[in-house]
Amino acid sequence: MTKIAVLVSGGGTNLQALIDAQQAGKIENGQISLVVSSNPKAYALERAAKAAIPSEVLRRRDFSDAEEYGKALTALLENADIGLIVLAGFMTVLPDSFCRHFENRIINVHPSLIPSFCGEGFYGLRVHEAALAKGVKVTGATVHFVSEVVDGGAIIAQKAVEVEDGDTPETLQKRVMQNAEWILLPQAVSDFCAGRLRVDGAIVHKN
Ligand code: GAR
């Protein structure tokens, strides 16, 4: 059984999708064992409490730099014997040393079709604002392994979502979450825990 830690900063709807999938028996060979929030006010913490999942708060500002933050997070995750780390709306950039330490064991969900609208500065609603400003007709979500390059790790799964006339960043965000993120993320987590994902350089194969 792979122990899963979910890292959050906000509302935690992706965490909820994982909890729901777990309760429906859809996370094969995995168990959400810990939720870590960078924000003590994150609603995600209440979702964890309701599901009786232990949680910790680790605020970036309590550490002198990203490196120290990464060390504390590493210790927390190692002590809990975590085998898979899921970034589910986690808004703190992690240091390279952390990404290397957990290579191919960190999964992130991003609300666009990478390599569009990703990288430094593209997070949350900003991604959808940029997609609407560009006038793309299709966007979507991507689940990928985390490397030292922001949003640059090997892609596990993607799903397209249509942009509709009159969309606002908020309506588009909601459609991308419902129709892509909340489906892709639990599936990828289950595939990882069941040992179905094989990383071959930049390419992920699913057995
Ligand atoms: C989600 O849309 C997620 O894809 C995005 O933040 C939102 C978090 O929502 N993540 C990023 O932009 C990371 N670059 P949630 O807290 O309700 O899951």
Domains of the chain: 2-203 (3.40.50.170)
Distance 55 CA to ligand 1 centre (A): 19
Specify the ligand 1 atom closest to the Cα of 89. Answer: 8
pLDDT at 43: 98
- List Cβ neighbours of 151 (8 Å cut-off, separation of 6 or more): 108, 110, 114, 115, 118, 119, 122, 142, 144
pLDDT at 149: 94
Mutation pick for ligand 1 pocket among 6, 8, 9, 13 (CB with most ligand atoms within 8 Å):
13
CA max distance for the chain:
49
Distance 166 CA to ligand 1 centre (A): 22
Predicted confidence (pLDDT) per residue in 15-36, tens digit: 999 999 999 999 999 999 999 9
Q: Is the model's pLDDT at 64 over the cut of 90? A: yes
Indicate the pLDDT class of residue 197, thresholds 50, 70 and 90: very high
12 is in an annotated binding site: yes
Mutation pick for ligand 1 pocket among 6, 8, 14 (CB with most ligand atoms within 8 Å):
14
Average pLDDT value for residue range 152-168: 98
Predicted confidence (pLDDT) per residue in 112-151, tens digit: 999 999 999 999 999 999 999 999 999 999 999 999 999 9
pLDDT at 89: 97
169-176 helix and 125-134 helix, angle to the nearest 10 degrees: 110
182-193 helix and 13-23 helix, angle to the nearest 10 degrees: 50
| Residue type present at position 97 | S
What are the backbone dihedrals phi and psi of residue 26, each rounded to the nearest 5 degrees, phi first?
-100, 0
Separation between Cα atoms, residue 178 and residue 180, nearest integer Å = 6
Specify the ligand 1 atom closest to the Cα of 12. Answer: 16
3-state helix, strand, coil in the chain (%, to 5): 35, 25, 40
108 is in an annotated binding site: yes
